[in-house]
Structure formats: structure tokens, C-alpha cells
Amino acid sequence: WSNLPAGHLLPPHLVRSSPVLLEKSYGKLSRHNQCHFMLKHLQDGDQISVHMPPDIAGHWVSDSCEVRSGPEFLTRSYHFYSNHTFQALQFYYRDNHCTEPIYSLLVQGSVHPRQASWVVRGGTEADYQLSRVHLISHNPSVAKELQEKLEQSCDLQKHMEPGLSYELLADDFEHSGRDCSRGLDFSMQELRLLRMEKRHRHGDPTLEAEELFLGDVHTERAQRRLHRPSGYQPPLQSVKTYDDSCVTCQIISAADLHNPPVLPSQNDRPLRLYGNWVSSRCEVRPGVLFLTRHFAFHEDGNVWEGHYYHFSDPVCRRPTFSISARGHFSQGVPSTTVMGGTEFTFTVTHMKVTPMDMATTSLLNVFSGNECGKQGSWRLGVQQDVTFTSGCAALGIRLPHTEYELFRMGRDSAGHSLLFNGQRPTNGSSPNQPHKRATSYQPPLIRCMSSQKGATTTSHKPDSLCHSLVSGLA
């Protein structure tokens, strides 16, 4: 299967990649092609370069209040030194705008980038070791909660006081076996996968922004400590190059263990889903898959359409297949689990598949009977409707399919509207039951204009499909 990385191991070198010139072209385009233009631009340009192995020395910060499954709301400020040691600060919050710090962690250790990743093409694997982990709580009630949690995982002798730092893991832990960080489901497995991108802003080669992608965090907390990353978290920004408009970056870069960043308070943005949305990057889906997405939500009858463009390479240039799905959605209530999120239900009733490379075309032709379109009839680049075979068994998709979703809206520092939908379960399953609904999010989509008003032509839906695809094909 062509998505598998075997044989594609990249030697350490510069990989030229694709640009996001949203700012430049945004306003000038006709309404007709803006969505396609934005997606195409992710593939065309020459604006991102990737260094392998990456030189990660420097200070890196979050550019927004991040959400991990659970949920946990946090910001990160990581220092990597050229002698391979690091100091990572993680600040945790009560709320989804990161205005109310509850506790913070200072993590020290060493990290060594190794070889190109076999799991995620374009990423670099790394080894790390922890030497110390310190915990500080920022108010008395949190101190009490933490004390209770930690008592279960280690014999914490002292009474925890807010504002004082406690050692959860010390230098000698390999001998003493004392590791109190377990009680927090704490893990630095994210350091096992690295990718650093240099992006030329506004097409100007002198304005270079550096972003550091670290490995994803397992959506099930109990799996975190053993999880080998197969995707990324939102990128950290280099303190040297972040955009002046990133107030969040400024606040986080100035913070320390005793003075956690407090982000400006704001209201949740009302959900205005209707319209068209596209990926702002080439996205990595755990399970060796790269893709871009285009969704359209229609007011008439709450119809949605989703286009998923799959690629074999980390800059989304070599297409493997695409899927267009269509169905209905309904908006539910504000989530009681994830502050700021809203629950949705999506169904997929119609689907079309287009094989875009020889490997996928042959694979679809191998399947017999009424399992995926007309048997043996697949041609490279020719779309087929697979609704009449109830989806595509070869791709692991059965129709109709229902998924339980989580959405929220946001805004980037340039003021563009962003739409976040739920992270897919890391184990590759589908959120096809309410209790499997996500508690964290995928990379955001950005709003675009499309002239295609009808519900039948272009557009889009969320992502559980893609996972099943991989499991079905691999």
C-alpha cells in the first residue's frame, strides 16, 4: 500500500515544501474559486522548508490556548539547548481560554534527534530522558486536588502548598523508582517525534517564521505514557520569529514556573458553521496519511459535504485518492465535558471515490463483488459513486455512517475565522457512539468562499472517514 513509508525513508536533507499565501490572495480572488485556490496553494508553493534532522535549539512557545483530550487546557514554553538538554514548562488551566492557571510543570532532561521517522514521513524520531519534573499549584483548592491525586501514585509526605514547587521525579528515579508524575498522566512522549518548518511569510524570503511540531498525545489518557507519536500537536512558535500580532506568544514567552501566563479573557465565539472551510496546512493523520480537507455546510436542510484529498507525502503533493462524502448534520447542545465545545451529530449517506495513483487504482480493482463500486472498473483519476454499494469495504467505510462530533470556533492572530472539529481517536476507531465523542480537536480549518451554493457539487465533512480508510487499506 502506497501510504506505507517503507522505502521512502528520507535522507537528512532539505525538503522543499508548500506555501500558505492566504493573506496575499485572500481578498482579491473571485468568490468562485477561493476554496480551491487556497487548497491548491498548499501544494504549489515553495515557501516552507524542512530541515532533517532539525536543529531545535531555541525557545518555543504555544500560539494559543491548547486543548488535549480529557480535556486539558494548557500552554507550553520549551527551551532546547545546543548541548541537548531541555527545560519544558507546561501551564495548565481551569478554562478553555487559559485565563485561570491551576498548576504548572517544569520538566528537565535531554533529547537527541535520531533518524527519519518510519511512522510519519517528514518527521524525525528522537530519544529523550527526563532528569527532573517539578510541580507547582497556583491556588489552595488545586493544591488539595493534586495532593489527593498524587497520594494514590506515590507517598507524598509533605502537605502541598500553593506557590511552592514539589519534585515529582528526581535525578535518581531510575534507582529509587520514585516517580510521582504518573498521578497526573504526565508524559513527554511528544519528544519522540520532531519536525521543524521554516515558513516564508508573505512570500518575503527575509521574513522567516520557524515552527516546531512535536508528537501527538494519545486521546486516551491511560495510553499516553507508552504512546509512540503518529501525528503532531499544534506547532510551537520560535520566540525569535513569531509574528508581532501574536499577543499570546508574547505573554507565554515572558512567563516562568512561578508566574504562569494568563491569556486575555474572551467570550466563546458563536458557532457559525454555514459556508465553506478548508485546511490551512497539509495535515497528518495518525496512521500514515496526509490529507487536506474541504467542508461545506449548507443551511438548507443542514446538509454537509466533505472532500478529503489524500496524499502519500508530507507536503501534500502526490495524491493517492480523494473522497467526497455527503449527508446531514444536526447541532446539539454545548458540551458539558469540553468547555467551549458544541456537540454535533453527522451522518454520511453518499460517497464518491477517486483513485489518484496506480497503487490505489489496482487495490480497488482487486476487491470483488458488490463491495466498492462496480467490480474491476476503477480507472486512474476517474471518480465513482459508491453509494449504491453502501460505501466501500476496501476503504473500511459502510454507509450510512453516523459520527458524534465536537466543534468550536476560533480566530487566528491575523483575524481569520477558524473552525475546529473533534480529534479522531488515536486507536483508529470511529466516534460512532456518543461516549466516543472527542474531547480535543484536529488542526483548524479556515473559512473560504465558494460560489457553489448547491448542496450537490462541492464541499465537506469531518474526519472519521479517513481513519477507517487506512485501517481498511493497510
CB 257 within 8 Å of CB 134: yes
**Least distance (Å) between residue 434 CB and ligand NAG:** 11
Cis peptide before 53 (omega within 30 of 0): yes
437, 432, 346, 355: which is closest to 392 by C-alpha?
355
Identity of the residue numbered 210 = E
293, 285, 338, 279: which is closest to 120 by C-alpha?
285
Identify which of residues 201 and 218 has a Cβ nearer to ligand NAG in the complex: 218
- Binding segment (CB under 6 A) for ligand NAG, from list 18-26, 27-35, 200-208, 422-430: 422-430
Identify which of residues 225 and 436 has a Cβ nearer to ligand NAG in the complex: 436
Per CB under 6 A, 100 contacts ligand NAG: no
Q: Which residues in the 378-407 window bind ligand NAG by CB under 6 A? A: none
The whole-angstrom separation of Cα 177 and Cα 162 is 26
Q: Binding marks (x or -) toward ligand NAG, 244..283, rule CB under 6 A?
A: ----------------------------------------
Q: Which of 96, 250, 345, 429 binds ligand NAG (CB under 6 A)?
A: 429
- Binding segment (CB under 6 A) for ligand NAG, from list 159-167, 273-281, 289-297, 423-431: 423-431
**Least distance (Å) between residue 11 CB and ligand NAG:** 29
**68 phi, psi to nearest 5 deg:** -105, 160
Q: What is the 3-state secondary structure (H, E, C) of 132-152?
A: EEEEEECCHHHHHHHHHHHHH
Q: Binding marks (x or -) toward ligand NAG, 170..209, rule CB under 6 A?
A: ----------------------------------------
Per CB under 6 A, 81 contacts ligand NAG: yes
Identify which of residues 293 and 424 has a Cβ nearer to ligand NAG in the complex: 424
Q: Which of 350, 393, 436, 471 binds ligand NAG (CB under 6 A)?
A: 436
Per CB under 6 A, 425 contacts ligand NAG: yes
Q: Is 38 helix (H, G, I), strand (E, B) or coil?
A: helix
Task: Return the half-sphere exposure (C-beta side, CA atoms, 13 A cut-off) of residue 226.
Answer: 4
Angle at 394 between CA 389 and CA 395, to 5 degrees: 95
CB 405 within 8 Å of CB 462: yes
Cis peptide before 162 (omega within 30 of 0): no
* CA distances from residue 352 to 2, 458, 470 in whole angstroms, order as listed: 20, 12, 17
Q: Give the DSSP letter of residue 388.
A: G
Identify which of residues 137 and 426 has a Cβ nearer to ligand NAG in the complex: 426
The whole-angstrom separation of Cα 23 and Cα 133 is 41
Identify which of residues 49 and 129 has a Cβ nearer to ligand NAG in the complex: 129
Cell 501574536 belongs to 246
**Least distance (Å) between residue 438 CB and ligand NAG:** 9
**Least distance (Å) between residue 471 CB and ligand NAG:** 11
Identify which of residues 13 and 240 has a Cβ nearer to ligand NAG in the complex: 240
The whole-angstrom separation of Cα 456 and Cα 474 is 31
Q: How many residues bind ligand NAG (CB under 6 A)?
A: 9
Q: Who contacts 199 (Cβ-Cβ below 8 Å, separation ≥6)?
A: 19, 20, 47, 48, 208, 209, 210, 211
Identify which of residues 275 and 287 has a Cβ nearer to ligand NAG in the complex: 287
**Least distance (Å) between residue 266 CB and ligand NAG:** 30
What grid cell was written down for 379?
A: 480507472
Cell 480537536 belongs to 441
Per CB under 6 A, 26 contacts ligand NAG: no
Identify which of residues 85 and 153 has a Cβ nearer to ligand NAG in the complex: 85
Per CB under 6 A, 219 contacts ligand NAG: yes
Q: Which of 145, 167, 220, 268 binds ligand NAG (CB under 6 A)?
A: 220
Q: Which of 7, 11, 27, 83 binds ligand NAG (CB under 6 A)?
A: 83
Interface contacts to ligand NAG, rule CB under 6 A? 81, 83, 85, 219-220, 425, 427, 429, 436
